[in-house]
Structures are given as structure tokens and as C-alpha cells.
Amino acid sequence: MLNAKRPSRPGSIRMLGTKHLSQPHKRTMQLQEIEIPREVPVMTMSQTVLFPQAMMPLFIFEPRYREMLKHALESDRIFAVAALDDREEDAEALETPYNVAGVGVIRACKQNPDGTSNLILQGLARVDFEDIICEEPYRRARIRQRMSQSDGSEKTLNAIQPTLLALIQTQIRLGARIPEEVLKFLANIRDSECVLDLAIYTLCPDSRFKQELLETRSVLTRFEKFERALRSQIERLKTDRHLKGGLDDDDIGQN
């Protein structure tokens, strides 16, 4: 577990984030450089994993997080989201975070009449927690960027997007409830790692596995792990379809 201590001078690190731009019949992503402080506020939540580029809706209602949000909106609009590490003893009581988290920027925020807020946080980068700086009035941590390793050949990395799209299309044909918009959105992204991370964030239901993939530095290894998971899901869908006699869910009662 990370120990709290007196903060040092924050400093800053430069990271590349992304911005979604809406255009008629088209959604694109544009890179922009965002400077992130070395010390950031942290929200620690159960089964919640923020990936770079992902858009995460959040409802802010606890007093400490209301104060955190107020300060963030008045400054750089940046904070980290860490998943609760429930492998640790007393993790829930102590709100023990995983050491790897996602840091993001507030893209939109609406304050409600009762003081709560709804916001959209866009992931910017993976980060490692170097230390917990303080717990009051809300948790703050010193961070460093967790760099990915593009260790595959250009041909292998370029194959990530078409492979993912083919696997998702197969799942949809087998009855998986994946909106077609997800497929179209992923098809319009050109960066292999970005496609991979957004696919994981959108389609991976297991939060522990999602955390494992967040922590995986190697883009190729991350892809291989996720690809195996998608293929396993396809096999389960095939089995379910076979057991149902090839019928849709609505027809099961007549089988």
C-alpha cells in the first residue's frame, strides 16, 4: 500500500491526449498536447478502469469529490481514476488503489441543483502512482507516465484493427449485443494502440482483466491477451447458439 507524506513541489509532465470532434456523419480523433501535473487528485472506485482516449461518464455526489471537482474545474480539469484493489486486506475500508491508473481531463460537466454533478472524463494516459501525497480533503498522488512498448513489427501492429473488427463482427453475427456504432467508431480510428484500448474499455466486462490489460505495457501482448478473450467469447456464443438450436432469444420458448 502507498504511504501518505508531505507533498513536494508538483512539477509537470507532458502527455499526448486526444479530443473527439463531431462532424456530419463522421467522428474523428485529433491529438493535442496536454500538460499534466506530477501530482493529481485521485478518485478510487470499485470495478472502474479508465483507459487512454476513453470517455467515462461520472456522477459526483460525495462531499470530498464535490470539492475535488470544484478545484479541478478552477485549475487544469485533470484527475486520476484508480480501481479499488480488492485483493488487499481491508481494501474497501482503506480504499486501496491499484498502483496503475488512468489520468483524464474533464471534457464536459453539468452541476445539478442539489450540488451533485454529471461529467465526462476523457482518458489521457496510463500512470503509475509513486506515492500518496495526502488523503484530506481528498486523495492526491504523485504520478509518472506508464509508457507503452510498441514491440511488434509494423505489419503485426497494423493488423490489430482489422483483426479486432473481424472478431467483433463475428460476435455480432452470433448474437452479441454490441451496437453497430461501436464497430463504425473503431473502424474510423487509425492508431493501433488507440483502437485496442478503446475496444478493451468498451467491450471487456471483467474489471480485473481490464485492469490487467491497463497495466500491460506491451501493445502486442495486450492485444494477444484481449484477442484470446474475444475468441473465447465467440466460442461461448457458438455453444449458446447450438444449445438453443440456432434460434434467437425470442424463440427459445418455442424450442
- Is residue 172 within 8 A of residue 178, CB to CB? The reply is yes
Sequence-distant contacts of 235-238: CB under 8 A, at least 24 apart? 237/171, 237/174, 237/175, 237/176, 238/174
Q: Which domains does the chain have, with CATH numbers?
A: 12-145 (2.30.130.40), 154-254 (1.20.58)
Quote the CA–CA distance of 171 and 251 in Å, as a whole number.
Answer: 19
Cell of 228: 484470446
pLDDT tens, position by position, 217-240: 999 999 999 999 999 999 999 998
pTM higher than the cut 0.75: yes
Higher pLDDT pick, 53 / 33:
53
Q: Which residues face 82 on adjacent strands?
A: 44
Using alpha carbons, select from 14, 74, 10, 65 the residue that is nearest to residue 42: 65
Instruction: Give the whole-angstrom CA distance, residue 251 versus residue 244.
Output: 9
Query: Distance between CA atoms of 182 and 198, rounded to whole angstroms?
Result: 10
pLDDT of residue 130: 97
pLDDT digits (tens, 9 = 90+) for 151-173: 888 999 999 999 999 999 999 99
Confidence of residue 17 (pLDDT cuts 50, 70, 90): very low
3-state SS class at 244: coil
Per-residue pLDDT tens over the stretch 52-107:
999 999 999 999 999 999 999 999 999 999 999 988 778 778 899 999 999 999 99
Look up cell 470530498; give the residue: 64
**Percent of the chain predicted with pLDDT > 70:** 84
Helix axes 160-173, 219-243, angle to 10 degrees: 20
In this structure, what C-alpha cell is assigned to residue 153?
Answer: 513489427
First to last CA, the chain: 54
CA distance 255 to 252: 5
Grade residue 174 by pLDDT with cuts at 50, 70 and 90.
very high
pLDDT tens track for 111-156: 999 999 999 999 999 999 999 999 999 999 999 999 999 888 899 9
